[in-house]
Amino acid sequence: MMTERDKRKAAAIKAMQDVFPDNPGMQKFEILFDLAWDALPGHIVEVGTGDGFGTVSLALGTRASGKGSPVYTVDPHEECRGWANEPYGPADRAVFLGNVLAAGMAETVRIVNLYAQAIVGCWPEVVSLLWWDLGQHYGPHVATVLEWCAKVVPGGTVLLNETFADDLGADAVVNLLTEGDFELLRIEYGIRMLRRLE
């Protein structure tokens, strides 16, 4: 028998397919939806917005759970390249805004159109779930990732995306985190999931 959660997730899958008909990443959607549903009270933060696929997945999850936590997404939407040389830039901002509106998630999603490293030092809120998805090697960003992780509440979750690249350097970040007060829960669909110990 379908649970209420199953029913709400099925409705969210339909919404994702309507808004992102060409995106094959439904496993990623399911991970983000489930973890946003289960997240502790607090702010959900995505670093690296792109066209908003992850943002909308997180927003649908927290809304479907009844908590409706704010989903902040951090990205300057300036010209840059990802690990496979794919281009990102200002045009993504318009696509992102259109996708959030089409999904009906504008009251849950809050865009922070700045570089992650520029704002982490003054981030004012406790983070319950952090989703790191720059599509770039972790090397130049290690200090920023660790600073963001320090904002995560005990019992909260960190998700590091490696998008199946051979070696984007996530191992080094995971080692630093697990030497501290994080434990690695699992790796699924190229996403490392860690929890901050209580």
Ligand X SMILES: C[S@@+](CC[C@H](N)C(=O)[O-])C[C@H]1O[C@@H](n2cnc3c(N)ncnc32)[C@H](O)[C@@H]1O
Least separation in angstroms between residue 183's CB and ligand X is: 24
Residue nearest to ligand X according to CB distances in the complex: 54
Q: Closer CB to ligand X, residue 135 or residue 156?
A: 135
Phi, psi at residue 156, to the nearest 5°? -80, 170
What DSSP character marks residue 120? G
Q: Closer CB to ligand X, residue 69 or residue 136?
A: 136
Q: Closer CB to ligand X, residue 54 or residue 169?
A: 54
Reference 56, options 129, 106, 130; nearest CA is 106
Least separation in angstroms between residue 62's CB and ligand X is: 15
Least separation in angstroms between residue 198's CB and ligand X is: 28
Q: Closer CB to ligand X, residue 115 or residue 189?
A: 115
Residue 193, judged by CB atoms within 10 A of its CB (0-12, 13-18, 19+), counts as middle
Q: Closer CB to ligand X, residue 76 or residue 190?
A: 76
Q: Using CA atoms, how far apart are residues 167 and 36, in angstroms rounded to an integer?
A: 27
Least separation in angstroms between residue 22's CB and ligand X is: 12
The type of residue at 63 is: R
Q: Closer CB to ligand X, residue 53 or residue 72?
A: 53
Q: Using CA atoms, how far apart are residues 67 and 90, in angstroms rounded to an integer?
A: 32
Least separation in angstroms between residue 82's CB and ligand X is: 6
Least separation in angstroms between residue 25's CB and ligand X is: 7
Residue whose structure tokens are 């998700």: 159
Contacting residues toward ligand X, per CB under 6 A: 46-50, 53-54, 74-77, 80, 82, 88, 92, 115-117, 133-135
- DSSP alpha helices (H): ranges in 1-150? 4-19, 26-38, 53-64, 91-102, 116-119, 142-149
What are the Cα distances from residue 97, in Å, to 91, 135, 162? Answer: 10, 20, 25
